[in-house]
């Protein structure tokens, strides 16, 4: 003889309510997390693009880049800017030949820019945001062309980024 236990209605309703509440909370947490991630990413993009624009329009950077940074001013200017901004890992100023004039690792100054996503800034003078892997790792970076003092000829570009 088998005894069949029957679950009470109250127990069934309690389990159903717990399941519905758990699913609802899970869905809400998913959407809140997605929304917060999107907002943070948007703020980071705005921040790195603003810094890139500031560097690209700096008269000191323009003058130094026009003379191939003979006086080694670009690194000093970039270090000063980096001390005043938050959430920026690096600012790299690059000439039209792809050579770096600034880099967080001083040994890489004078070497070619790495990442493969710089061509739109270098060849077309475009301003944009990209995600790529460079010498420092995977990062979100903003590219902006740098024009000479008369704003009629591109002399390089700046890449500003934060590691992801």
Q: In the chain, what are the domain boundaries?
A: 39-163
pLDDT for 71: 79
pLDDT for 4: 64
Task: Let me know if domain 39-163 sits in CATH 3.90.280.10.
Answer: no
User: How large is the angle between the packed helices 74-84 and 59-66, nearest 10 degrees?
Assistant: 150
> Other CB atoms closer than 10 Å to residue 115's CB: what's the count?
20
pLDDT for 1: 56
pLDDT for 101: 92
Contact 155, 74 (CB under 8 A): no
pLDDT for 22: 97
Q: Taking the CA atoms of the chain, what radius of gyration do you get in angstroms? A: 26
pLDDT averaged per 10 residues in sequence order, the chain, 164 residues: 73 95 97 95 93 93 88 88 89 92 88 86 91 83 92 91 87
């Amino acid at each position: 003889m088998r005894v069949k236990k029957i679950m009470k209605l109250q127990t069934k309703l309690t389990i159903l309510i717990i399941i519905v509440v758990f699913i609802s909370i899970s869905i809400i947490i998913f959407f809140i997390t997605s929304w917060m991630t999107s907002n943070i990413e948007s703020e980071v993009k705005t921040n790195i693009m603003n810094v890139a624009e500031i560097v690209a329009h700096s008269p000191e950077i323009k003058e130094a880049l026009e003379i191939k940074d003979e006086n080694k001013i670009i690194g000093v200017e970039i270090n000063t800017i980096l001390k005043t901004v938050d959430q920026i890992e690096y600012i790299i100023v690059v000439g039209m030949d792809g050579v770096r004039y600034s880099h967080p690792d001083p040994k890489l100054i004078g070497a070619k820019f790495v990442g493969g996503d710089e061509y739109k800034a270098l060849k077309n003078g475009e301003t944009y945001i990209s995600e790529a892997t460079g010498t420092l790792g995977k990062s979100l970076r903003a590219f902006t062309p740098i024009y000479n003092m008369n704003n009629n000829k591109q002399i390089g570009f700046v890449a500003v980024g934060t590691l992801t």
